[in-house]
């Protein structure tokens, strides 16, 4: 894809949280909503104690969210929240702890949250720390806002991220695990570090997806396209195979990958592969089912 064309395409499908805020703010004013919700701050924590593993579910709200590793802490989870409405925090189990932290859902809660976010001067924030000492099954359900997930040093057995509306930047862990990322509305940025062996499934929503795979990672990625481009950056040292089933937008694949199948007529479906794929120590396998926006592999 021509560089200028690619830039125009990204801009066309980009998600602006600030623009959405402006539009909903104007709507709120037009219907007489002032956004005067009580803003609360609270600290939540639970210790590791006897646990040898944990299942953690986070249901996020409106605002900015950071998820990060806990260092030098005996706690499984520590969270500092600035929010409106009500929070549910529950912990059960002994050797395998089950932890749930969520915004309480109720009729109209989303609008209360968004208007409260506007009224708070965009100060709503979740800062969540998770232990690096235990294997985790981690499930994150996004709300509305900007999310940054620094998961690199966590011990993850399974990972699921369900998109909301806004921008998600997720640095995935090392280790061997399965991960599912279901994008919502907005840009999703995913990076896979060296040393990771990941069975990754991505379901695109509306917006751009950027997948950056580091040298030294083994990745099998099944991607279902949505509305917007999917951009994959591969290390040239990897043995790589890309299988593309045509959608609208086509496939644009790095020249160091050789097309070994497809390319006849109007159908752009095909298979590309590096010469050393079968014998490579590090392998990346991308299977893409096209949507609107196409696939770019660099």
Domain extents in the chain: 3-218
Q: How many CA atoms lie within 13 A of 52 on its CB side?
A: 1
pTM of the predicted protein model:
0.83
pLDDT in tens, the chain (298 residues): 444 433 333 434 444 545 555 544 554 454 444 555 688 999 999 999 999 999 999 999 888 999 999 989 999 999 999 988 899 999 999 999 999 999 886 445 544 545 444 444 457 899 999 999 999 999 999 988 899 999 999 999 999 999 888 899 999 999 999 999 998 899 999 999 999 999 999 998 899 999 999 999 999 999 998 898 999 999 988 999 999 997 777 889 999 999 999 876 556 789 999 999 999 988 999 999 987 888 999 9
- Look at residue 36 in the predicted model and tell me its pLDDT: 57
Q: Quick one: pLDDT at residue 266?
A: 56
For residue 92, what pLDDT is reported?
A: 98
Please say whether the beta carbons of 68 and 150 come within 8 A.
yes
pLDDT attached to residue 246: 75
Is residue 188 packed enough to be buried (19+ CB in 10 Å), middle (13-18) or exposed (0-12)?
A: buried
Distance CA 253, CA 269 (A): 12
| Contact by Cβ (8 Å): 220, 199 | yes
DSSP state of 238: S
Sorted by sequence, the CB contacts under 8 Å of residue 70 that are 6+ apart come out as 77, 78, 129, 130, 131, 132
Which residues on neighbouring strands pair with residue 100, listed in sequence order? 57, 90
């Amino acid at each position: 894809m021509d560089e200028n064309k690619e830039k125009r395409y990204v801009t066309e499908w980009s998600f602006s949280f600030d623009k959405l805020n402006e539009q909903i703010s104007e709507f709120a004013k037009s219907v007489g909503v002032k956004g005067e919700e009580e803003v609360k701050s609270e600290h939540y924590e639970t210790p590791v104690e006897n646990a040898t593993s944990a299942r953690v579910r986070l249901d996020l709200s409106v605002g900015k969210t950071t998820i990060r590793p806990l260092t030098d802490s005996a706690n499984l989870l520590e969270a500092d929240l600035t929010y409106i409405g009500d929070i549910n925090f529950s912990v059960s189990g002994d050797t395998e702890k089950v932890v749930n932290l969520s915004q309480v859902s109720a009729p109209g809660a989303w609008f209360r949250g968004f208007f409260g976010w506007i009224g708070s001067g965009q100060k709503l924030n979740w800062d969540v720390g998770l232990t690096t000492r235990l294997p985790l099954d981690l499930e994150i359900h996004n709300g509305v806002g900007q999310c940054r997930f620094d998961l690199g040093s966590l011990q993850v057995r399974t990972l699921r991220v369900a998109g909301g509306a806004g921008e998600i930047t997720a640095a995935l862990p090392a280790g061997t695990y399965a991960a599912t990322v279901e994008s919502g509305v907005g840009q999703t940025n995913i990076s896979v570090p060296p040393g990771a062996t990941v069975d990754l499934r991505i379901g695109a929503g509306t917006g751009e997806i950027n997948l950056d795979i580091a040298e030294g990672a083994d990745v099998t990625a099944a991607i279902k396209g949505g509305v917007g481009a999917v951009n994959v950056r591969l290390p040239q040292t990897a043995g790589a195979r890309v299988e593309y089933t045509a959608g609208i937008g086509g496939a644009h694949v790095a020249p160091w990958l050789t097309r070994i199948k497809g390319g006849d007529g109007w159908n752009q479906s095909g298979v590309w592969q590096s010469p050393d794929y079968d014998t490579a120590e590090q392998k990346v396998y991308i299977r893409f089912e096209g949507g609107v926006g196409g696939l770019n592999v660099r």
